[in-house]
Amino acid sequence: MQLSIDLTGRDVLVTGSGTAARQAVRRYEAAGARVFRLSVPEGAPGDGPLPERPFLVAAVDDGQPGWEPLLERSRAAGIPVAAEPAAGPAGHVTLVGGGPGTLDLLTVGAVNALRDADVVFYDRLAPYQELERLTSGRLVDVGKQPGHHKVTQGDIEKLMVEAALAGENVVRLKGGDPFVFGRGGEEVASCVAAGVPVNVISGVTSAISVPAAAGIPVTHREVSHMFTVVSGHAPLTGKEHAHLAGLCGLGGTIVVLMGIGTLPQLAAGLRRAGMRADMPMAVVERGYRPGQRTTIAELGTIENAAAGCSNPAVLVIGEVVGVAMASRNHAAASADLNRLAASLLEA
């Protein structure tokens, strides 16, 4: 929960102990206040000096008797006393889809969940640059670089559950949608196993939005009436000929996530499975982020064309890529103009 009041430079005294008091301290600090704590009616050794005359006393209902005289004295001295709610019985976890990395594609539900968070565990692909503006909760980076895991999946789940059991309102912010190659299902399962209440806020998946950023519609009337989203990890990388043949046989758009590392094998496999060498194909890197780039080629030439491409990227294979080329949307056209202007300036 965030306070909608600017307390910059004001002294606020928070009374009480436990999770609710910690949450109140964070709320008031986020609103700009200089916060002082008084943990027990007599004052605890760790509390430090107290302000002579606070702007406000935030009284956390921690069930302890003995606060009333202090609160009475404050009121009598004309210092406002705000009653702070006690912490709920238990914390909970909200799995939040952060979309492809731009604030514009964050849902209202995601914004609300972040605002109410005590702690946010976020991924490399989540819109983490914006987090400090969106939440006053503690920010914990559990992002993984491809190849080396910063925090293991098991540890992430443990951290989330522990924080929730300690009474915190936990947000697990993930890129795109939590249930599209996001291991969201596993995280829900570990919360359920630990008896922690958990809910999921869907996000805008990169599988649809990143092609859109390049002007590519994943379906288009009379061109493609289906799309299949696959992971560039197994089984497409193996000798799963039947799998690739099935995919080609569908005749729809194929969208591949995490596909940069295995692009040559995928292109060769699709060719072996009978796909035309001149099937249009696009690689869209860093959708909605600085340096967004689209590389368009054909199945037979993509390996060379995309040699310099890097993660994160979404691959699109199908006739819809041609639709994008035919009807360049306004954004793509103006991006081209910007590039043209930049290259003229460089020249």
Could you tell me where the DSSP H helices lie in 175-240?
A: 184-193, 206-213
Nearest distance, CB of residue 132 and ligand SAH, angstroms: 20
Nearest distance, CB of residue 307 and ligand SAH, angstroms: 17
232 touches 259 (CB < 8 A): yes
Smallest CA-to-CA distance from 322 within 205, 210, 214 is with 214
β 280-285/293-298 pair status: antiparallel
Q: How far apart are the first and last CA of the chain?
A: 52
Helix, strand, coil percentages, rounded to 5, for the chain? 35, 20, 45
Residue with Cβ nearer ligand SAH (91 or 175): 175
Which of the following is catalytic: 123, 160, 177, 281? 123
175 touches 98 (CB < 8 A): yes
What are the angstrom distances between the C-alpha of 41 and each of 60, 68, 69, 142?
A: 12, 9, 9, 39
Could you tell me the two tokens for 10? 């004001």
Residue with Cβ nearer ligand SAH (125 or 163): 125
Confirm whether 239 is a catalytic residue: no
Nearest distance, CB of residue 235 and ligand SAH, angstroms: 16
Confirm whether 150 is a catalytic residue: no
Residue with Cβ nearer ligand SAH (227 or 288): 288
Residue with Cβ nearer ligand SAH (181 or 227): 181
**Burial of 243 by CB count in 10 Å (0-12 exposed, 13-18 middle, 19+ buried)?**
middle
What residue number has its CB nearest to ligand SAH? 176
Residue with Cβ nearer ligand SAH (87 or 110): 110
Could you give the angle at the alpha carbon of 301 between the alpha carbons of 295 and 307, nearest 5°? 55
Confirm whether 144 is a catalytic residue: yes
Residue with Cβ nearer ligand SAH (31 or 284): 284
Nearest distance, CB of residue 208 and ligand SAH, angstroms: 9
Q: Which residue has the tokens 């916060």?
A: 35
β 81-84/56-60 pair status: parallel
Can you point out the beta strands (E) in 187-257?
198-201, 227-231, 253-257
Give Cα 64 distance to the centre of its chain. Answer: 39
Nearest distance, CB of residue 285 and ligand SAH, angstroms: 6
Residues that bind ligand SAH (CB under 6 A): 100-101, 125, 174-177, 180-182, 205-207, 210, 257-258, 286-289, 311-314
Nearest distance, CB of residue 107 and ligand SAH, angstroms: 13
Which residues carry out catalysis? 123, 144, 258
